[in-house]
Amino acid sequence: MLTSDDAAAETWGVTASTGRPFTHASIAGAHFRACRQSYRELLGLAGIRTGMRVLDAGCCGGEFLPWLTALTGPGGRVSAIDLDPEHVARAGARVAGWDLPCPVDLRQGSITGLPYADDTFDAVWCSNTVELLTDDQLRVALAELRRVTRPGGLITIKDVDAACFAVRPGDPHLFADLFRAAGATPGYAQQVLRARDLYRWMREAGIGAVRQRTVLIEHFAPFTPDVRAYYAPAFAELAGQATGLGLPAADWAPLLDPGHPQNPFHHPDGYISEGNVLAIGTA
């Protein structure tokens, strides 16, 4: 059953069965494929090494599992959890078909109530997932991630920073205006503006030695099919949000109309950026 928090999030669309925005397999997988190279580089900063026991918190369809198991190697072990049973089933089917170097244990459950004993993991990887939590849920989730990580183990959180969205050609304030309006009240927009504060949230949760860096992921025309496949529907969703908030539809028209002379997907100088915050701390 959806809570009132979840129901508020659902208004952002592209939802999975959990009602959370931008989590449908079609969009979450597309986002991963569009940013694949940068995500691989960010994972490489998480300090995951051979032999570690690692948790993938918010694993979706298991996109990170080949990389995570390659990092831990045959002597390691990876657990993966997701709220959405359909994502877990899809990840399970993929894991069964992959020849991964170490075992993967998959479970359905929430990072706000993890089904693992204290101090189980040497490292936690949590990508694009805490942005889906309310402030209260984030507090609980960070305490849970800390609880299941052994003292001295690593907790890495990666979230999208909505403040770094930009498109060219286009108004440089387009996304800022949307997120200022949408983020004025608690909900998904506020949560994707919270990424740059993760260092503080993690410190407050008792996670030590937190270091954080924000990486700009940039795409230039001609865009790959993967880039188009994620950002075109994502921007259509954001345009719907913007017009619903009373922002001028004409400002968003170039993103929606392939025939518009300023449409970034058909412009030779098209450009798209998004920010990703990587915050790493020690349990």
Ligand X SMILES: C[S@@+](CC[C@H](N)C(=O)[O-])C[C@H]1O[C@@H](n2cnc3c(N)ncnc32)[C@H](O)[C@@H]1O
User: Which positions touch ligand X (CB under 6 A)?
Assistant: 16, 18, 20, 22-23, 28, 32, 58-60, 63, 81-84, 87, 110-112, 127-129, 132
Closest distance to ligand X from the beta carbon of 248 (Å): 29
Pick the closer one to ligand X by CB: 85 or 103. 85
CB neighbours of 233 closer than 8 A, spacing ≥ 6? 14, 26, 27, 30
Half-sphere exposure of 263 (CA within 13 A, CB side): 15
Q: Quote the least distance from Cβ 135 to ligand X, whole Å.
A: 14
Residue 151 C-alpha from the chain's centroid: 26
Give CA–CA dist 172/272, Å, rounded: 11
Nearer to ligand X, 31 or 53 (CB): 31
Tell me how far, at minimum, the Cβ of 159 lies from ligand X, in Å: 9
Query: CA 186, 204, 136, 235: dihedral to nearest 10 degrees?
Result: 40
In the chain, % helix, strand, coil (3-state, to 5) comes to 40, 25, 35
- Pick the closer one to ligand X by CB: 43 or 52: 43
Nearer to ligand X, 247 or 277 (CB): 277
* Per-position DSSP letters for 199-240, written without gaps between them: HHHHHHTT-EEEEEEEEEEEEESSPPHHHHHHHHHHHHHHHH
Q: How far apart are CA 34 and CA 225, in angstroms?
A: 8
**Closer by beta carbon to ligand X, 122 or else 159:** 159
Q: What is the DSSP letter of 24?
A: S
Closer by beta carbon to ligand X, 137 or else 263 = 137
